[in-house]
Amino acid sequence: MPLALELDGVDFAYGQGPAVLTDVDLRVAEGEFVAIAGPNGGGKTTLLRLALGLERPTRGAVLLFGEAARTFGARTKIGYLAQRTKIGVHAPATVREVVEAGRAALRPVGRLRRDDHAAVEEALERVGMHELAGRRLSTLSGGQQQRAFIAKALAAHPSLLVLDEPTTGVDVAAQDALGALLHRLHEELGVTILYVSHEFGAVERFVQRLVLVRERIVFDGPPSQLPGLWHDPSHTHA
């Protein structure tokens, strides 16, 4: 299976600061559903930023679909859900306007065309937000807002879906619904999913691999092989 993401012997530090990541090797095949977890400050967000080509490794190589991540050209192949604190959940936008913004990189100028509208409607359907498409984002629950931004990420038909701390500020029932939604999207679309969070309880049943990061990769395997001590104690399924 071709690789969606490859980190090879990667070290990283911010400026002259201490090492954030040391000797990280990670391969994610196309079509895999992988959770990357670890304590706050353990380096998982840095790993994600390296994977997206937003940071340059101090040592080693990062490849996206076989190309150097920093110069990867086909960026619309990546659907990205940023942390909740960094997205405009309080913007006066409707759900549909948020999802339409997901087509901006493909159609930065000019009117949206028929295929753009079709992609937007399809993305809304897939996350179950079609009925709420005309509602203002700020009037929705945290879980519904997350679904709207997942639809935005899906609107460009990505091959790789990356979610950064998607359960922050979302209640446990909505976290479980989010896990089930990602599982269904993975099954239906065959999209590669990287789920980066300090809590992985919501997707533990669905992911094929769990990668624990604490400066180094300290565990990489199916969740069933994870020592009981390390299971996410913060998550109780609703």
Residue 118 touching other proteins (CB under 8 A): no
Among 195, 186, 192, 193, smallest CA distance to 164 is for: 195
Contact present, 62 and 6 (Cβ < 8 Å): yes
Strand boundaries in 30-89, DSSP class E: 33-37, 59-64, 67-68, 78-81
- Other Cβ atoms within 10 Å of 8 Cβ, number: 14
8 to each of 12, 21, 218, how far by Cα in Å? 12, 12, 16
Contact present, 149 and 87 (Cβ < 8 Å): yes
Q: Which of 3, 13, 29, 93 binds other proteins (CB under 8 A)?
A: 93
Residue 80 touching other proteins (CB under 8 A): yes
Cα 31 to chain centroid distance, Å, stands at: 14
Residue 119 touching other proteins (CB under 8 A): no
Q: Which of 22, 58, 94, 168 binds other proteins (CB under 8 A)?
A: 94
Binding segment toward other proteins, per CB under 8 A, in 55-63, 80-88, 202-210, 212-220? 80-88
For residue 102, the minimal CB distance to other proteins (Å) is: 8
Q: Which is nearer to other proteins, 30 or 97 (CB)?
A: 97
Interface positions with other proteins (CB under 8 A): 52, 54, 73, 75-76, 78, 80-82, 86-88, 91-94, 97-98, 100-105, 107-109, 112, 134, 136, 149, 152-153, 156, 162
